[in-house]
């Protein structure tokens, strides 16, 4: 486990790096699509947010949030993702909404860095953003990985 420092520019650079960003989003979409039908259902998306830990950063959820409030929150998030109201989230919807959420997080962070404790196998977007920044700052790291 390590600690990384993340600020708004870390996240923004990650989103701007079209190739890396799309790759990361596509990978997570594939791993979230548990039944491999090419779209995310309500429960698949909820699992995604529970595991990605973005909610905590963006929506201020803490451990004391009551379950019914959480369900409401996840429902409203799902509705945001599901732009065309089809009842499922496809890859395009997922990409564009992840971009919006990450940019909103970046704005929220601004230039006030936060420290995040991350597991080595953490697959969250914030970890990927931090990795990308680290690779840019230290080219030898990029070659090694």
For residue 37, state whether it binds Ca ion (rule: CB under 5 A).
yes
For residue 33, state whether it binds Ca ion (rule: CB under 5 A).
yes
Judged by beta carbon, residue 4 or residue 98, the one nearer Ca ion is 98
Q: Can you list the alpha helix ranges (DSSP code H) found in the chain? A: 8-16, 18-32, 42-52, 54-59, 67-81, 91-109, 125-137, 139-144
Q: Which one of the spans 4-12, 34-42, 62-70, 74-82 is the region binding Ca ion (CB under 5 A)?
A: 34-42
Task: Give the tokens for residue 140.
Answer: 């030898």
Give min distance, CB of 77 to Ca ion, in A.
16
For residue 107, state whether it binds Ca ion (rule: CB under 5 A).
no
b/e map of 113-145 (b: 16 or more CB within 10 Å)?
Answer: eeebebeeebebbbbbbbbbbebeeeeeeeeee
For residue 115, state whether it binds Ca ion (rule: CB under 5 A).
no
For residue 87, state whether it binds Ca ion (rule: CB under 5 A).
no
Which residues of this chain interact with Ca ion, rule CB under 5 A?
33, 35, 37
């Amino acid at each position: 486990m390590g600690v990384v420092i993340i600020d708004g520019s870390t996240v923004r650079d990650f989103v701007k790096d079209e190739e890396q960003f799309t790759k990361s989003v596509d990978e997570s979409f594939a791993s979230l699509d548990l039944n491999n039908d090419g779209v995310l259902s309500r429960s698949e998306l909820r699992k995604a947010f529970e595991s990605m830990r973005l909610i905590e950063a963006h929506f201020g959820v803490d451990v004391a949030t009551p379950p019914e409030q959480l369900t409401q929150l996840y429902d409203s998030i799902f509705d945001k993702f599901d732009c065309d109201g089809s009842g499922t989230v496809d890859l395009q919807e997922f990409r564009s909404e992840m971009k919006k959420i990450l940019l909103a997080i970046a704005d929220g962070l601004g230039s006030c860095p936060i420290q995040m404790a991350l597991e080595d196998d953490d697959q969250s977007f914030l970890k990927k953003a931090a990795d990308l920044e680290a690779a840019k700052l230290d080219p030898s790291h990029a070659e090694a990985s």
